[in-house]
Chains A and B, each alone.
Chain A
Amino acid sequence: MTRPDEARFAGLLREHKAILHKVAFTYAGNPEDRRDLVQEMAIQLWRSFPRFDGRVKFSTWAYRVSMNVAVSWLRGEHRRPRDTVPIEDLEHEIAATESTLGEASDNMRVLRGLIEGLDELNRALILLYLDGHGADEIAEILGITPGNVTTRVNRLKQRLQEGFARLEQPLEKTA
Protein backbone atom coordinates (compact mmCIF):
# COMPACT_ATOMS: atom_id res chain seq x y z
CA MET A 1 0.00 0.00 0.00
CA THR A 2 1.38 3.42 -0.91
CA ARG A 3 1.57 6.30 1.59
CA PRO A 4 -1.45 8.14 0.12
CA ASP A 5 -3.44 4.88 0.24
CA GLU A 6 -2.41 4.38 3.85
CA ALA A 7 -3.55 7.88 4.72
CA ARG A 8 -6.86 7.26 2.92
CA PHE A 9 -7.27 3.94 4.73
CA ALA A 10 -6.51 5.52 8.11
CA GLY A 11 -9.13 8.21 7.44
CA LEU A 12 -11.78 5.68 6.45
CA LEU A 13 -10.97 3.44 9.41
CA ARG A 14 -11.24 6.37 11.83
CA GLU A 15 -14.59 7.29 10.32
CA HIS A 16 -15.98 3.74 10.50
CA LYS A 17 -14.25 2.26 13.53
CA ALA A 18 -17.56 2.02 15.41
CA ILE A 19 -18.38 -0.88 13.04
CA LEU A 20 -15.42 -2.85 14.41
CA HIS A 21 -16.46 -2.21 18.00
CA LYS A 22 -20.09 -3.13 17.38
CA VAL A 23 -19.11 -6.36 15.63
CA ALA A 24 -16.66 -7.18 18.43
CA PHE A 25 -19.37 -6.48 21.00
CA THR A 26 -21.66 -8.93 19.19
CA TYR A 27 -19.10 -11.74 18.99
CA ALA A 28 -16.86 -11.46 22.05
CA GLY A 29 -18.10 -11.72 25.61
CA ASN A 30 -15.34 -10.00 27.54
CA PRO A 31 -13.26 -6.83 27.04
CA GLU A 32 -9.97 -8.71 26.48
CA ASP A 33 -11.43 -10.79 23.67
CA ARG A 34 -13.11 -7.71 22.21
CA ARG A 35 -9.81 -5.85 22.16
CA ASP A 36 -8.09 -8.76 20.39
CA LEU A 37 -10.92 -9.05 17.92
CA VAL A 38 -10.92 -5.32 17.10
CA GLN A 39 -7.19 -5.57 16.40
CA GLU A 40 -7.65 -8.63 14.19
CA MET A 41 -10.41 -6.89 12.26
CA ALA A 42 -8.39 -3.69 11.81
CA ILE A 43 -5.39 -5.66 10.56
CA GLN A 44 -7.52 -7.67 8.13
CA LEU A 45 -9.13 -4.47 6.85
CA TRP A 46 -5.67 -3.06 6.26
CA ARG A 47 -4.49 -6.20 4.47
CA SER A 48 -7.64 -6.36 2.34
CA PHE A 49 -7.80 -2.64 1.53
CA PRO A 50 -5.85 -2.93 -1.77
CA ARG A 51 -8.72 -5.13 -3.02
CA PHE A 52 -11.40 -2.62 -2.07
CA ASP A 53 -12.58 -1.39 -5.47
CA GLY A 54 -15.45 0.86 -4.39
CA ARG A 55 -18.16 -1.31 -6.01
CA VAL A 56 -19.85 -1.40 -2.62
CA LYS A 57 -19.84 1.31 0.05
CA PHE A 58 -16.84 1.30 2.36
CA SER A 59 -19.14 0.62 5.32
CA THR A 60 -20.65 -2.43 3.57
CA TRP A 61 -17.17 -3.72 2.81
CA ALA A 62 -15.99 -3.01 6.37
CA TYR A 63 -18.95 -4.95 7.79
CA ARG A 64 -18.12 -7.91 5.52
CA VAL A 65 -14.44 -7.98 6.50
CA SER A 66 -15.14 -7.46 10.21
CA MET A 67 -17.86 -10.09 10.31
CA ASN A 68 -15.78 -12.59 8.37
CA VAL A 69 -12.95 -12.14 10.88
CA ALA A 70 -15.38 -12.38 13.80
CA VAL A 71 -17.07 -15.56 12.51
CA SER A 72 -13.67 -17.20 11.92
CA TRP A 73 -12.56 -16.00 15.34
CA LEU A 74 -15.60 -17.52 17.00
CA ARG A 75 -14.85 -20.82 15.26
CA GLY A 76 -11.31 -20.67 16.59
CA GLU A 77 -9.58 -20.11 13.25
CA HIS A 78 -8.24 -16.66 14.08
CA ARG A 79 -7.32 -16.90 17.74
CA ARG A 80 -3.74 -16.01 18.52
CA PRO A 81 -1.83 -15.80 21.77
CA ARG A 82 -2.21 -12.40 23.35
CA ASP A 83 1.37 -11.33 22.86
CA THR A 84 1.32 -9.58 19.56
CA VAL A 85 0.57 -5.88 19.76
CA PRO A 86 0.79 -3.40 22.61
CA ILE A 87 -2.66 -3.17 24.07
CA GLU A 88 -2.70 0.34 25.52
CA ASP A 89 -4.17 1.63 22.26
CA LEU A 90 -7.66 0.32 22.69
CA GLU A 91 -8.44 0.61 26.38
CA HIS A 92 -10.56 3.77 26.09
CA GLU A 93 -12.39 2.54 23.02
CA ILE A 94 -13.26 -0.79 24.61
CA ALA A 95 -14.43 1.00 27.75
CA ALA A 96 -16.63 3.27 25.60
CA THR A 97 -18.26 0.22 24.01
CA GLU A 98 -18.89 -1.33 27.41
CA SER A 99 -20.47 1.83 28.84
CA THR A 100 -22.65 2.59 25.82
CA LEU A 101 -23.71 -0.86 24.64
CA GLY A 102 -22.89 -3.29 27.41
CA GLU A 103 -24.34 -1.99 30.64
CA ALA A 104 -26.45 0.89 29.38
CA SER A 105 -29.84 -0.45 30.45
CA ASP A 106 -31.82 -3.56 31.31
CA ASN A 107 -32.91 -3.79 27.71
CA MET A 108 -29.33 -3.82 26.54
CA ARG A 109 -28.56 -6.61 28.98
CA VAL A 110 -31.56 -8.53 27.63
CA LEU A 111 -30.31 -7.92 24.12
CA ARG A 112 -26.88 -9.18 25.05
CA GLY A 113 -28.43 -12.37 26.40
CA LEU A 114 -30.35 -12.81 23.17
CA ILE A 115 -27.22 -12.29 21.06
CA GLU A 116 -25.20 -14.74 23.14
CA GLY A 117 -27.80 -17.41 22.46
CA LEU A 118 -27.43 -17.06 18.69
CA ASP A 119 -25.01 -18.77 16.33
CA GLU A 120 -22.36 -16.80 14.45
CA LEU A 121 -24.47 -16.14 11.34
CA ASN A 122 -27.57 -14.99 13.20
CA ARG A 123 -25.39 -12.70 15.32
CA ALA A 124 -24.31 -10.95 12.12
CA LEU A 125 -27.92 -10.72 11.02
CA ILE A 126 -29.21 -9.23 14.27
CA LEU A 127 -26.39 -6.68 14.46
CA LEU A 128 -27.08 -5.46 10.93
CA TYR A 129 -30.79 -5.27 11.70
CA LEU A 130 -30.21 -3.36 14.94
CA ASP A 131 -27.86 -1.02 13.11
CA GLY A 132 -30.75 0.04 10.90
CA HIS A 133 -29.80 -1.67 7.65
CA GLY A 134 -32.51 -2.68 5.21
CA ALA A 135 -33.02 -6.21 3.88
CA ASP A 136 -31.18 -5.40 0.62
CA GLU A 137 -28.06 -4.15 2.36
CA ILE A 138 -28.06 -6.98 4.89
CA ALA A 139 -28.39 -9.43 1.99
CA GLU A 140 -25.43 -7.77 0.25
CA ILE A 141 -23.24 -8.10 3.34
CA LEU A 142 -24.21 -11.66 4.22
CA GLY A 143 -24.57 -13.06 0.69
CA ILE A 144 -28.16 -14.23 1.04
CA THR A 145 -31.38 -13.07 -0.61
CA PRO A 146 -33.42 -10.13 0.80
CA GLY A 147 -36.40 -12.48 1.18
CA ASN A 148 -34.27 -14.79 3.29
CA VAL A 149 -33.21 -11.82 5.45
CA THR A 150 -36.85 -10.89 6.10
CA THR A 151 -37.74 -14.47 7.00
CA ARG A 152 -34.80 -14.79 9.36
CA VAL A 153 -35.45 -11.44 11.05
CA ASN A 154 -39.05 -12.53 11.67
CA ARG A 155 -37.76 -15.75 13.25
CA LEU A 156 -35.48 -13.69 15.51
CA LYS A 157 -38.44 -11.54 16.56
CA GLN A 158 -40.38 -14.68 17.40
CA ARG A 159 -37.45 -16.10 19.30
CA LEU A 160 -37.16 -12.89 21.32
CA GLN A 161 -40.84 -13.06 22.23
CA GLU A 162 -40.48 -16.70 23.26
CA GLY A 163 -37.46 -15.75 25.36
CA PHE A 164 -39.46 -13.08 27.17
CA ALA A 165 -42.37 -15.46 27.67
CA ARG A 166 -40.00 -17.92 29.36
CA LEU A 167 -38.64 -15.14 31.59
CA GLU A 168 -42.13 -14.10 32.62
CA GLN A 169 -43.39 -17.59 33.48
CA PRO A 170 -41.53 -17.97 36.79
CA LEU A 171 -42.61 -14.44 37.78
CA GLU A 172 -46.26 -15.29 37.13
CA LYS A 173 -45.93 -18.48 39.15
CA THR A 174 -44.49 -16.65 42.15
CA ALA A 175 -47.01 -13.76 41.89
Chain B
Amino acid sequence: MNITLEDLRSEWAGHARRLEEQLRTTTQIAREDWIERQRDRVRAAGPFRWFEIMVWVASIALLGSFLAANVASPALFVTAAVIDVWVIATGVTAVRQQHAVRSLDYGMPVTSLQARVESLRVSRIRAFNVSFLTGQIVWWIPFFVVFMRGVFGVDLYANPWFVDFALINLAAGVAIIPLAIWIARRYGDRLAKTSAIRHIADSIAGRDIAAAREAIEKLRRFEA
Protein backbone atom coordinates (compact mmCIF):
# COMPACT_ATOMS: atom_id res chain seq x y z
CA MET B 1 0.00 0.00 0.00
CA ASN B 2 1.58 3.25 -1.10
CA ILE B 3 -0.98 6.00 -1.56
CA THR B 4 0.11 9.55 -2.10
CA LEU B 5 -1.75 12.71 -1.16
CA GLU B 6 -2.31 13.26 -4.91
CA ASP B 7 -4.09 9.87 -5.12
CA LEU B 8 -6.31 10.82 -2.22
CA ARG B 9 -6.92 14.21 -3.79
CA SER B 10 -8.18 12.74 -7.07
CA GLU B 11 -10.33 10.19 -5.25
CA TRP B 12 -11.69 12.92 -2.99
CA ALA B 13 -12.61 14.99 -6.08
CA GLY B 14 -14.81 12.17 -7.36
CA HIS B 15 -16.56 11.67 -4.01
CA ALA B 16 -16.96 15.41 -3.50
CA ARG B 17 -18.64 15.69 -6.93
CA ARG B 18 -21.07 12.94 -5.98
CA LEU B 19 -21.76 14.68 -2.68
CA GLU B 20 -22.56 17.93 -4.49
CA GLU B 21 -24.93 16.07 -6.85
CA GLN B 22 -26.69 14.42 -3.92
CA LEU B 23 -26.96 17.68 -2.00
CA ARG B 24 -28.43 19.37 -5.06
CA THR B 25 -31.39 16.99 -4.87
CA THR B 26 -32.11 17.93 -1.25
CA THR B 27 -33.58 21.31 -0.49
CA GLN B 28 -33.42 21.04 3.26
CA ILE B 29 -30.97 23.69 4.32
CA ALA B 30 -31.54 27.29 3.21
CA ARG B 31 -35.24 26.87 2.60
CA GLU B 32 -37.36 29.90 3.38
CA ASP B 33 -38.73 28.29 6.57
CA TRP B 34 -35.20 27.40 7.70
CA ILE B 35 -34.20 31.05 7.44
CA GLU B 36 -37.36 32.00 9.30
CA ARG B 37 -36.49 29.64 12.17
CA GLN B 38 -32.97 31.00 12.45
CA ARG B 39 -34.40 34.50 12.68
CA ASP B 40 -36.53 33.36 15.61
CA ARG B 41 -33.49 31.77 17.23
CA VAL B 42 -31.47 34.98 17.03
CA ARG B 43 -34.41 36.97 18.39
CA ALA B 44 -34.88 34.48 21.23
CA ALA B 45 -31.53 35.56 22.70
CA GLY B 46 -32.70 39.19 22.86
CA PRO B 47 -35.01 39.56 25.88
CA PHE B 48 -32.57 38.05 28.38
CA ARG B 49 -29.88 40.50 27.35
CA TRP B 50 -32.40 43.32 27.79
CA PHE B 51 -33.27 41.96 31.24
CA GLU B 52 -29.58 41.98 32.22
CA ILE B 53 -29.22 45.57 31.03
CA MET B 54 -32.37 46.60 32.92
CA VAL B 55 -31.07 45.06 36.16
CA TRP B 56 -27.74 46.81 35.66
CA VAL B 57 -29.34 50.20 35.02
CA ALA B 58 -31.70 49.73 37.99
CA SER B 59 -28.73 48.90 40.27
CA ILE B 60 -26.89 52.04 39.18
CA ALA B 61 -30.04 54.14 39.67
CA LEU B 62 -30.66 52.73 43.17
CA LEU B 63 -27.04 53.28 44.17
CA GLY B 64 -27.19 56.77 42.67
CA SER B 65 -30.20 57.66 44.77
CA PHE B 66 -28.47 56.23 47.87
CA LEU B 67 -25.40 58.34 47.12
CA ALA B 68 -27.52 61.47 46.75
CA ALA B 69 -29.30 60.75 50.03
CA ASN B 70 -26.02 60.21 51.93
CA VAL B 71 -23.80 63.00 50.63
CA ALA B 72 -23.51 64.29 54.19
CA SER B 73 -22.20 60.93 55.53
CA PRO B 74 -18.74 60.45 53.98
CA ALA B 75 -18.32 56.84 55.20
CA LEU B 76 -21.65 55.71 53.77
CA PHE B 77 -21.13 57.75 50.62
CA VAL B 78 -17.69 56.23 49.93
CA THR B 79 -18.96 52.71 50.69
CA ALA B 80 -21.82 53.05 48.22
CA ALA B 81 -19.50 54.71 45.70
CA VAL B 82 -17.20 51.67 45.82
CA ILE B 83 -20.11 49.38 44.93
CA ASP B 84 -21.32 51.80 42.27
CA VAL B 85 -17.90 52.01 40.61
CA TRP B 86 -17.63 48.20 40.71
CA VAL B 87 -21.10 47.74 39.17
CA ILE B 88 -20.44 50.33 36.46
CA ALA B 89 -16.96 48.98 35.66
CA THR B 90 -18.06 45.33 35.41
CA GLY B 91 -21.14 46.30 33.38
CA VAL B 92 -19.17 48.45 30.93
CA THR B 93 -16.55 45.70 30.56
CA ALA B 94 -19.25 43.09 29.87
CA VAL B 95 -20.99 45.30 27.29
CA ARG B 96 -17.67 46.09 25.57
CA GLN B 97 -16.78 42.42 25.43
CA GLN B 98 -20.17 41.44 24.06
CA HIS B 99 -19.83 44.16 21.45
CA ALA B 100 -16.33 42.97 20.52
CA VAL B 101 -17.55 39.37 20.15
CA ARG B 102 -20.53 40.48 18.05
CA SER B 103 -18.26 42.61 15.87
CA LEU B 104 -16.04 39.67 14.96
CA ASP B 105 -15.94 39.29 11.21
CA TYR B 106 -16.02 35.57 10.49
CA GLY B 107 -15.27 36.33 6.85
CA MET B 108 -11.70 37.25 7.81
CA PRO B 109 -8.88 34.81 6.96
CA VAL B 110 -8.79 31.95 9.45
CA THR B 111 -5.53 32.81 11.20
CA SER B 112 -6.49 36.50 11.62
CA LEU B 113 -9.93 35.78 13.04
CA GLN B 114 -8.68 33.04 15.33
CA ALA B 115 -5.94 35.31 16.73
CA ARG B 116 -8.62 37.92 17.45
CA VAL B 117 -10.87 35.30 19.10
CA GLU B 118 -8.06 34.12 21.35
CA SER B 119 -7.02 37.63 22.41
CA LEU B 120 -10.67 38.38 23.26
CA ARG B 121 -10.69 35.18 25.26
CA VAL B 122 -7.68 36.36 27.27
CA SER B 123 -9.40 39.71 28.04
CA ARG B 124 -12.64 37.95 28.94
CA ILE B 125 -10.90 35.61 31.38
CA ARG B 126 -8.93 38.48 32.94
CA ALA B 127 -12.12 40.52 33.41
CA PHE B 128 -13.87 37.51 34.93
CA ASN B 129 -11.01 36.90 37.35
CA VAL B 130 -10.93 40.53 38.48
CA SER B 131 -14.70 40.73 38.97
CA PHE B 132 -14.89 37.31 40.64
CA LEU B 133 -12.02 37.92 43.06
CA THR B 134 -12.84 41.54 43.90
CA GLY B 135 -16.60 40.88 43.92
CA GLN B 136 -16.39 38.93 47.15
CA ILE B 137 -14.89 42.04 48.82
CA VAL B 138 -17.38 44.52 47.38
CA TRP B 139 -20.43 42.31 47.84
CA TRP B 140 -19.87 41.53 51.48
CA ILE B 141 -19.17 44.39 53.91
CA PRO B 142 -19.86 47.40 51.63
CA PHE B 143 -23.08 45.82 50.36
CA PHE B 144 -24.08 44.89 53.92
CA VAL B 145 -23.52 48.49 55.06
CA VAL B 146 -25.50 49.99 52.18
CA PHE B 147 -28.25 47.36 52.49
CA MET B 148 -28.72 47.94 56.22
CA ARG B 149 -28.84 51.69 55.74
CA GLY B 150 -30.97 51.64 52.57
CA VAL B 151 -33.54 49.05 53.70
CA PHE B 152 -33.62 49.34 57.51
CA GLY B 153 -32.15 52.82 58.02
CA VAL B 154 -29.42 51.40 60.27
CA ASP B 155 -26.03 53.12 60.10
CA LEU B 156 -23.56 50.35 60.93
CA TYR B 157 -20.70 52.84 61.10
CA ALA B 158 -22.39 54.30 64.19
CA ASN B 159 -21.68 51.06 66.05
CA PRO B 160 -18.26 51.17 67.76
CA TRP B 161 -17.52 47.49 67.02
CA PHE B 162 -18.31 47.75 63.34
CA VAL B 163 -15.10 49.37 62.09
CA ASP B 164 -12.99 46.57 63.59
CA PHE B 165 -15.41 43.99 62.18
CA ALA B 166 -15.27 45.59 58.73
CA LEU B 167 -11.47 45.85 58.74
CA ILE B 168 -11.09 42.21 59.73
CA ASN B 169 -13.50 41.15 56.98
CA LEU B 170 -11.79 43.38 54.44
CA ALA B 171 -8.41 41.88 55.33
CA ALA B 172 -9.90 38.38 55.06
CA GLY B 173 -11.43 39.28 51.68
CA VAL B 174 -8.07 40.49 50.37
CA ALA B 175 -6.31 37.43 51.77
CA ILE B 176 -8.80 35.14 50.05
CA ILE B 177 -7.61 36.31 46.60
CA PRO B 178 -4.16 34.62 46.64
CA LEU B 179 -5.65 31.73 48.63
CA ALA B 180 -8.33 31.15 45.96
CA ILE B 181 -5.69 31.24 43.22
CA TRP B 182 -3.53 28.75 45.14
CA ILE B 183 -6.46 26.38 45.82
CA ALA B 184 -7.60 26.56 42.17
CA ARG B 185 -4.07 25.73 40.99
CA ARG B 186 -3.40 23.02 43.54
CA TYR B 187 -6.79 21.32 43.93
CA GLY B 188 -8.87 22.65 40.99
CA ASP B 189 -9.02 19.30 39.22
CA ARG B 190 -10.11 17.43 42.32
CA LEU B 191 -12.68 20.00 43.44
CA ALA B 192 -14.27 20.58 40.03
CA LYS B 193 -17.23 18.20 39.90
CA THR B 194 -19.11 20.11 37.20
CA SER B 195 -17.91 21.81 34.03
CA ALA B 196 -19.00 25.24 35.36
CA ILE B 197 -16.84 24.88 38.48
CA ARG B 198 -14.00 23.53 36.36
CA HIS B 199 -14.24 26.63 34.14
CA ILE B 200 -14.08 28.91 37.18
CA ALA B 201 -11.14 26.97 38.63
CA ASP B 202 -9.30 27.01 35.28
CA SER B 203 -9.88 30.75 34.93
CA ILE B 204 -8.70 31.59 38.45
CA ALA B 205 -5.71 29.27 38.22
CA GLY B 206 -4.69 30.87 34.91
CA ARG B 207 -4.96 27.61 32.94
CA ASP B 208 -7.50 29.12 30.50
CA ILE B 209 -5.25 32.10 29.83
CA ALA B 210 -2.30 29.78 29.30
CA ALA B 211 -4.37 27.74 26.81
CA ALA B 212 -5.41 30.90 24.93
CA ARG B 213 -1.79 32.12 24.81
CA GLU B 214 -0.68 28.73 23.57
CA ALA B 215 -3.30 28.93 20.81
CA ILE B 216 -2.03 32.41 19.82
CA GLU B 217 1.53 31.07 19.73
CA LYS B 218 0.41 28.14 17.59
CA LEU B 219 -1.23 30.55 15.14
CA ARG B 220 2.00 32.57 14.95
CA ARG B 221 3.98 29.42 14.21
CA PHE B 222 1.44 28.43 11.54
CA GLU B 223 1.71 31.86 9.89
CA ALA B 224 5.53 31.86 9.98
Contacts and interface: CB of A to CB of B under 8 A. Distances in A.
Interface of A: 6, 9-11, 13-14, 17-18, 20-22, 38, 42-44, 46-48, 51-52, 61, 64-65, 67-69, 71-72, 75, 77, 84-86, 89-90, 92-93, 96-97, 99-101, 104-105, 107-108, 110-111, 119, 121, 124, 129-132, 140-144, 148, 153, 156-157, 160-161, 164, 167-168
A111 B111 contact: no
B169 interface: no
Interface of B is mostly: helix
Q: How extensive is the interface on chain B, given as a class?
A: 35 or more
Given A97-B19, A121-B219, A6 B117 contact: no
Contacts of A22: 16, 19
B28 interface: yes
A156 to B, nearest CB: 6
Interface stretch (B79-87, B90-98, B100-108, B143-151): B100-108
Given A68-B110, A68-B113, A144 B12 contact: no
- 10 pairs of A and B residues whose beta carbons are closest in the complex: A143-B109, A13-B30, A143-B111, A96-B22, A100-B19, A130-B12, A65-B106, A18-B20, A10-B30, A157-B5
Contacts of A69: 106
Given A100-B18, A157-B4, A130 B9 contact: yes
Contacts of A85: 37-38, 41
A41 B30 CA distance: 12
Contact of A77 (B16, B110, B121): B121
Residue picked from B30, B41, B109, most chain A C-beta under 10 Å: B30
Contact of A10 (B13, B32, B108): B32
Contacts of A89: 28-29, 34
B114 A101 contact: no
Contacts of B27: 14
Contacts of B41: 43, 84-85
Given A10-B31, A85-B41, A93-B28, A64 B110 contact: yes
Contact of B8 (A130, A132, A148): A130
